[in-house]
Amino acid sequence: MTQQVKRAFKYRFHPTDEQAAELSRTFGCVRYVYNKALQERTRAWYGEQRRISYVQSSAALTQWKKTEKLAFLAEVSSVPLQQALRHLQTAFGNFAAKRAKYPRYKSRKRSRASAEYTRSAFTWRDGRLTLAKMAEPLDIRWSRHLPEGAVPSTVSVSRDSAGRWFVSLLCEDTIAPAPATDKAVGLDAGITSLVTLSTGEKIANPKHERRDRARLRRAQRELSRKAKGSANREKARRKVARVHARIADRRRDFLHKLSTRLVRENQTVVIEDLAVRNLLKNGRLARAISDASWTQLRSMLEYKCAWYGRELVVIDRWFPSSRLCGSCGTVGAKLPLNVREWTCECGAVHDRDVNAAHNILAAGLAVSACGDAVRPQRESSRTGRSSVKQEPQRATAGLPHL
C-alpha cells in the first residue's frame, strides 16, 4: 500500500552576485532575529518570571522593524524572519519536553547559514524557483527529478562552510512499499569492518576521513600560518572546509547506498542500540568512531524501513552479543577489543563480529515475535559471576542456532 510522505529534495545552485548579496543579508537578519528573540525570552523569564509566546515575539518583531536601529530588518523578506521565530518556539518546546537542552545563540562563524521560505515567499512556475525580493529564478543544478506534479510547500536555502549554496525543496511524494521477502539480517557495527552481517559478509570501512587525513593536515597547517582577519586566512579556511565537505559527502553517499541495499534485500533488519556519545569519550577510538558514523547509518535505516514497509528491530545495548556463544548459549568472559576470535567451552570457534551479528539477529527475531525487550542484567558485584546467561537463552529459545 502506497503512502504519502513529506520528502526533502536537496540541490546545489549557483546564485548571481545580486542573489548572493540578498541571501547573505537574509541569513544575517534571520540569525539576528533568532538571537534577539532568545535574549528577550531569557531576560523575561529570569528577570520577571514571565513567559513570552511566539505571538508576542512576532508582534515584537514588527516593532523592531519600525525603530531606526533595526530598520534593516525590513529590507529582507519577512517570511524567513517569522520562520526563525517558529524555530525558536520549537526549540523551547523541545527543551520543555526534555528532548533537548536550553536553546543556544547562533554564531556567525559556527552556525549554519540558512533561511526558510514558505509558499507566500517564493514563486514556483514551470520548474523554476524565484524567491521573494529577487527578480530572477535560482540557477539550480537538477541532479535528480522531483516527483511528477510536485509543488514545493517549503523552500530552505543554505550556504555551507565551504561556500557552496544549496536549496532544499519539501514536497509530497508517493512511496511504494518494497516487494515482500522472508530474509532477515543482523548488523554488528565495528571499526575495521563498518558492519558485519549475520550472513557472514563483512562490509569494509571506507575510512573516508583517514584517506584524506594528509590533505586535511596540510590545509590546517596552512590555515594556522595565516594572519587572523586577513583575506588569505579566509581562503585557507575555505580550503579546510572543502576537505571536510568532501569527506562528509563521500561518507553520506556510501551510507545511503549501504542502507538502501540492506532495506531492499531484507524484510527485518536488527541493530544494536549503541551509546555512541559515550563511546566517543574513548580518546583512542573517538576519531575512528566518528568517521564510521554509526548514528547516521541508523537514522537512514529508520526512515527507509518506515518508507518501504520493512521492520527495524533495535535490541538493548547491554545484550552480550560478542561473548554469547551462538551454539550453546554460554556467556563467556569479557573480551578485549584486540581479541577477534575466541573458543567457547563447548569447542565452538567464533569470529567475534560474525558471532555477534548472529546473536543480534536471533535476539531481534525473539523481540519481534514476543514484543519484549532484551535487556540482560549487569554482572553481580557480590558473586563476580554473570547474571546474564539465562536471559539470552530465553530470548533465543525456539530459534535455530545460527
| pTM metric for this prediction | 0.83
Tens-place pLDDT, residues 130-169: 999 999 999 999 999 998 888 999 999 999 999 999 999 9
Q: Annotated catalytic, 188?
A: yes
Kindly report the backbone phi and psi dihedral angles of residue 360, in degrees, each rounded to the nearest multiple of 5, phi listed first: -65, -40
Residue 333 has pLDDT above 60, yes or no: yes
**Quick one: cell of 44?**
523575561
DSSP 3-state of 324: strand
**Radius of gyration (C-alpha) of the chain in whole angstroms:** 26
Cβ neighbours around 147 below 10 Å, total: 13
345 Cβ contact list (under 8 Å, min separation 6): 325, 328, 330, 332
Spot the catalytic one: 116, 272, 291, 391.
272
Tens-place pLDDT, residues 44-101: 999 988 999 999 999 999 999 999 999 999 999 999 999 999 999 999 999 999 999 9
pLDDT band at 334 (very low <50, low <70, confident <90, very high): confident
Helices 54-66 and 17-48: angle between axes, nearest 10 degrees: 120
Kindly report the backbone phi and psi dihedral angles of residue 185, in degrees, each rounded to the nearest multiple of 5, phi listed first: -145, 140
Angle formed at CA 389 by CA 387 and CA 395, multiple of 5 degrees: 120
Cβ neighbours around 113 below 10 Å, total: 19
Spot the catalytic one: 188, 209, 291, 391.
188
Q: Which residue has the higher pLDDT, 234 or 2?
A: 234
**Quick one: cell of 335?**
573480551
Q: What is the pLDDT of residue 372?
A: 53
Cβ neighbours around 345 below 10 Å, total: 9
317 Cβ contact list (under 8 Å, min separation 6): 272, 273, 274, 275
Q: Is 348 exposed, middle or buried (0-12, 13-18, 19+ CB in 10 A)?
A: middle
Q: Annotated catalytic, 272?
A: yes
